[in-house]
Amino acid sequence: MPLVTSTEMFKKAYNGGYAIGAFNVNNMETIQGIVEAGKECNSPLILQVSAGARKYANPVYLKHLIEAAVETTGLPIVMHLDHGADFESCKSAIDDGFTSVMIDASHHSFKENIEITKKVVQYAHDRGVVVEAELGQLAGIEDAVNVKAEDANFTQPDEVCEFTQKSGCDSLAIAIGTSHGAYKFKPGQKPQLRFDILEEVGKRLPGFPIVLHGASSVPQDRVAIINQFGGKMPDAIGIPEEMLRKAASMAVCKINIDSDLRVACTAAIRKHFAEHPDHFDPRQYLGDARAAVKEIVKHKIMDVLGSNDKA
Ligand code: G3H
Ligand code: 13P
Ligand code: ZN
């Protein structure tokens, strides 16, 4: 099976009350860990590439690694551009064979967001590619964007119909209290998501796939390993998994996970070096990192997303 778009995946996920995991990829071991998990769980997958990932690994390498994932697993896999900053970045990904792109124009005015998204949609749809847009702004840090908590704003349900109709986007990322990175809530703060907004958006856009960014749970056992073996990640806190399960049973069809993979890799590598100070073959510690990614992705698919046996 060649690379696919998310259209069919989202239809099934919406009707089945589950979500597809969208995992960020930067290197071979991460891709292998994710797709080995997907294969064992018979799950569709979205492999997403940020601007930072393209810069780090070289777009050509990532594209061929993802194509290798498709070839070796036969799974339905979407190659998605994460947080496309402008029309040119989206165009470049579409021209390179991506089957899905995100245009993140959420920091522009409502009107400009529609105009920019619409331009990407026209170019993408003419080439059989689907488009995710964003309305509302998440807090947190990615390579390309750093939004302070006080500048984040929740999606306004009143705006979603006009936005999706005028822009023509295929899925919509909304802001309901998730944020990027490993420090999503302050210690002592009760993790909360605005399920009332999600519910209202679902009512206004029946059948329309909603996307959650910043949806890592930051597993505390892995954070403890990092801190035990020389790391310093005090107070790293993510989204409770039961909240993600609830979102997946509602209109959310795509759940973005990056920080959890980073934490899993780092914990595995730190532990490896602490236990084997004599090792210097990268295959030894990167092999552990790959196994850790596989384990966490299997857990997400089976216990959080519910996308197992849906390929
Ligand atoms: O939301 C963004 C992803 O976590 C990608 O992060 O920009 O550091 O590659 P990055
Ligand atoms: P996390 O930082 O919560 O993993 O979010 C990743 C993400 O939204 C990628 O677009
Ligand atoms: Zn994101």
Residues 258-309 have pLDDT tens digits of 999 999 999 999 999 999 999 999 999 999 999 999 999 999 999 999 999 9
Q: Sign of torsion, CA 286 287 290 292?
A: negative
Question: What average pLDDT is seen over the chain?
Answer: 96
Is the pTM value of this prediction over 0.85? yes
Residue 23 is part of a domain; what is its CATH number? 3.20.20.70
Low-confidence ranges of the chain (pLDDT < 70): 140-152
Q: Look at residue 139 in the predicted model and tell me its pLDDT.
A: 73
Indicate the pairing of strand 210-212 with strand 252-257.
Answer: parallel
From the CA of 53, the nearest ligand is 1
Which atom in ligand 2 lies closest to the alpha carbon of residue 260? 4
| Ligand with the closest atom to the CA of 260 | 2
Which ligand 2 atom minimizes the distance to the CA of 257? 4
Give the distance (Å) from ligand 1 centre to CA of residue 115: 25
pLDDT of residue 141: 59
In a domain, 131, yes or no: yes
Q: Is 270 in the pocket of ligand 1 (CB under 6 A)?
A: no
311 within a domain of the structure (yes/no): no
CA 262 to ligand 2: nearest atom:
4
CA–CA distance, 226 with 224 (Å, rounded to integer)? 5
Q: How far does the chain reach from its first CA to its final CA, in angstroms?
A: 11
Residue 269 lies in a domain: yes
151 given a catalytic annotation: no
Q: Looking at residue 142, what is its pLDDT?
A: 57
Total count of domains within the chain: 1
In a domain, 310, yes or no: no
Residue 84 lies in a domain: yes
Q: Is 265 within the bounds of a domain?
A: yes
Please report which ligand is nearest the Cα atom of 215.
2
Residue 237: domain span: 7-305
| Strands 140-141 and 100-103, bridge-based pairing | unpaired
- CB distance 145 to ligand 1 below 6 Å: no
Q: Is the CB of 216 under 6 A from ligand 1?
A: no
Identify the residues whose C-beta falls under 6 Å from ligand 2. Answer: 24, 82-83, 180-181, 213-216, 256-260
Residue percentage of the chain with pLDDT more than 90: 94
**In-domain check, residue 76:** yes
How many CA atoms does the CB half-sphere of 262 hold within 13 Å? 16
- Classify each residue of 109-138 as buried b or exposed e, where b means 16 or more C-beta atoms within 10 Å of its C-beta: eeeebbebbbbbbebbeeeebbbbbbbbbb
Structure tokens at 188: 């002592």
3-state secondary structure of 18: coil
Pocket test for ligand 2, best of 142, 185, 210, 262 (most atoms within 8 A of CB): 142
Distance 213 CA to ligand 2 centre (A): 5
